[in-house]
């Protein structure tokens, strides 16, 4: 993959991540695509060094948005279900 192609993919993923508003399934798909792009970029780090940092940050944000919003507190009455306390 060429640098211009990967840069275009990263910009597309960043635009998609900005538009997320509680869309967990979309976040999961963007996360999967970000992981693929990061693998390709890390295969040639000397060429894609600036994009690797952007992809790392994007992956961190998407991981948080793709996370299922269920309670993990075993003492909470909502344990394992959606919880307003989270």
Per-position pLDDT tens, the chain of length 86: 688 888 999 899 888 888 877 677 888 899 999 999 999 999 998 989 889 999 999 999 888 888 776 777 788 887 777 776 65
* pLDDT at residue 57 in the model: 93
Q: What are 21's two structure tokens?
A: 């508003």
Please tell me whether the overall predicted TM-score, pTM, comes out greater than 0.85 for this model. Answer: no
CB atoms within 10 A of CB 17: 19
* pLDDT at residue 55 in the model: 93
Phi, psi of 71 (to 5 degrees): -75, 135
3-state secondary structure of 44: coil
| Residue 10 DSSP class | H
* pLDDT at residue 52 in the model: 92
Q: What are 84's two structure tokens?
A: 């307003």
* pLDDT at residue 22 in the model: 65
Distance (Å, rounded) from C-alpha 54 to C-alpha 68? Answer: 24
* pLDDT at residue 86 in the model: 53
């Amino acid at each position: 993959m060429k640098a211009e192609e990967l840069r275009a993919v990263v910009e597309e993923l960043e635009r998609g991540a900005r538009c997320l508003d509680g869309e967990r399934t979309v976040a999961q798909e963007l996360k999967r695509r970000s992981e693929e792009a990061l693998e390709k970029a890390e295969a040639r780090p000397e060429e894609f060094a600036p994009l690797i940092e952007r992809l790392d940050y994007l992956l961190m944000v998407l991981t948080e948005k793709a996370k299922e919003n269920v309670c993990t507190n075993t003492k909470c009455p909502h344990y394992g279900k959606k919880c307003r306390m989270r």
